[in-house]
Amino acid sequence: MPYRVCFVCTGNICRSPMAEYVFRAHVEEAGLHGLVEVDSAGTDGWHEGEGADPRTVAVLRDNGYDSDHTARRFQPSWFSRLDLVIALDAGHLKALRRLAPTPEDAAKIRLLRSYARPSPESAAQAPSVRAADDDLDVPDPYYGGMDGFEECLEMVEEASLALLAVVQEHVEGRAA
């Protein structure tokens, strides 16, 4: 049975599809195709059925990532089939925890940037400062320009590599 990861943002057109396609590429590169399934959704259904924001598509394409996305809304029933639900900011984390049917399901929810390797500047800070949820948000680029999408991609790439190491350990543990 594959290990299943779902990335969640607000409308599923900017951050979560970006995280989905970046993480999927890392999964493929690591040779975990078929062992890890990657998906994304939004906490709200405003954009259901729409493609990813054109700026998301452009940033992904310009950085060598594929994307073929249709937005959808996260459903509480999905918790039963998911191993890990990755929120892109603290608001998504709270919304997902409210949707979780059981404490076990709530325990599956994590912030993406909680996996990021600390920068030299943040490594010098106290761990409690680094671990604060609001310090771990991937900012919503929707209302800004391309630079916000590029910054978002940088944050997603950094955290995705560290997340991959954790997921790989789980997958190898299941195989043992």
pLDDT confidence bin for 121, thresholds 50/70/90: very low
CA distances for 171 relative to 104, 108, 175, angstroms: 19, 15, 6
- Is residue 143 in some structural domain? yes
CATH number of the domain to which 51 belongs: 3.40.50.2300
- Is residue 43 in some structural domain? yes
What are the strands of the beta sheet with 109-111, ordered from one edge? 36-42, 3-9, 84-87, 109-111
Residues 4-53 have pLDDT tens digits of 999 999 999 999 999 999 999 999 999 999 999 999 999 999 999 999 99
CA distance 79 to 106: 9
pTM of the model: 0.91
Give the domain range for residue 18. Answer: 3-171
- Encoded tokens for 111: 């912030």
What are the strands, taking DSSP E only, across 14-171? 36-42, 84-87, 109-111
In the chain, the number of structural domains is 1
- Is residue 176 in some structural domain? no
9 in catalytic set:
yes
Residues 47-103 have pLDDT tens digits of 999 999 999 999 999 999 999 999 999 999 999 999 999 999 999 999 999 999 999
- Is residue 39 in some structural domain? yes
CA distance 148 to 151: 5
39 in catalytic set:
no
- Catalytic, out of 9, 14, 55, 152: 9
- Catalytic, out of 6, 14, 15, 110: 15
Which candidate, 45, 43, 174, places its Cα nearest to that of 109? Answer: 43
pLDDT confidence bin for 176, thresholds 50/70/90: low
- For residues 123 and 55, which has the higher predicted lDDT (pLDDT)? 55
